[in-house]
A and B are shown apart, each in its own frame.
Chain A
Amino acid sequence: ETVLTQSPATLSLSPGERATLSCRASQSVSSYLAWFQQKPGQAPRLLIYDASNRATGIPARFSGSGSGTDFTLTISSVEPEDFAVYYCHQRSNGPYTFGQGTKLEIK
């Protein structure tokens, strides 16, 4: 199965700072990589699909890039409501898989 490795495990930032989250795949997933945000007690929320496309209603401060095996989620200026856990997910190779998550916490 395709293993997705996210780094860092925890990212400590202050509001207004730039966040850069990484997701590396053990084999190519082409551009079939998505990013989700999850807050406690809630379902994951789709932010980015197919590597770089923002989902409906997602603010422009969220952007995604990459293809093949290396992907990045960038939050240009972190807002207080952005502190959460972020997961990457691939739907290229069966079984579809998720990364282990990056927790974005307040510094």
Chain B
Amino acid sequence: QVQLVQSGAEVKKPGSSVKVSCKTSGGTFRTYAISWVRQAPGQGPEWMGGIIPVFGSTNYAEKFQGRLTITADESTTTAYMELSSLRSEDTALYFCARGLGGTLVDWGQGTLVTVSS
């Protein structure tokens, strides 16, 4: 059974960074793409970027270029999403999701990131 378990809620100051983890179990970590999707309050989902661990290749939405870093640690089957230069508009629920070729089959439970002074 595939499970994705994310780290807990974060409260951050504007201008700081946040790093969210996504621990996976079940399936083959290396070959599945892991994507990060966020959802602001009352809004639809927004795809941020993804990684394929076996290649180490990443793909980011242009909107987040320069602020977003997605990494994967095969030894712990954990993916990470780090977003820097946080602003109030980054307040959202952040999800990791996994699937072949960018499909979003299995999802984490979500991590609430609140950016507030």
Which residues does A use to contact B, with CB under 8 Å?
Answer: 34, 36, 38, 43-46, 49-50, 55, 87, 89, 91, 94-101
Contacts and interface: CB of A to CB of B under 8 A. Distances in A.
A87 B63 contact: no
Interface in B27-83: 35, 37, 44-47, 59, 61-63
Given A91-B101, A96-B102, A44 B62 contact: no
Interface residues of B, number: 22
A83 B41 CA distance: 20
Contacts, number: 51
Contacts of B44: 87, 98-101
Nearest to B45: A98
Interface of B: 35, 37, 44-47, 59, 61-63, 95, 97, 99, 101-105, 107-110
A96 B59 CA distance: 10
20 contacts: A36-B104, A43-B107, A43-B110, A44-B37, A44-B95, A44-B107, A45-B107, A46-B103, A46-B104, A46-B105, A89-B45, A91-B101, A94-B59, A96-B35, A96-B102, A97-B47, A98-B44, A98-B46, A98-B47, A99-B44
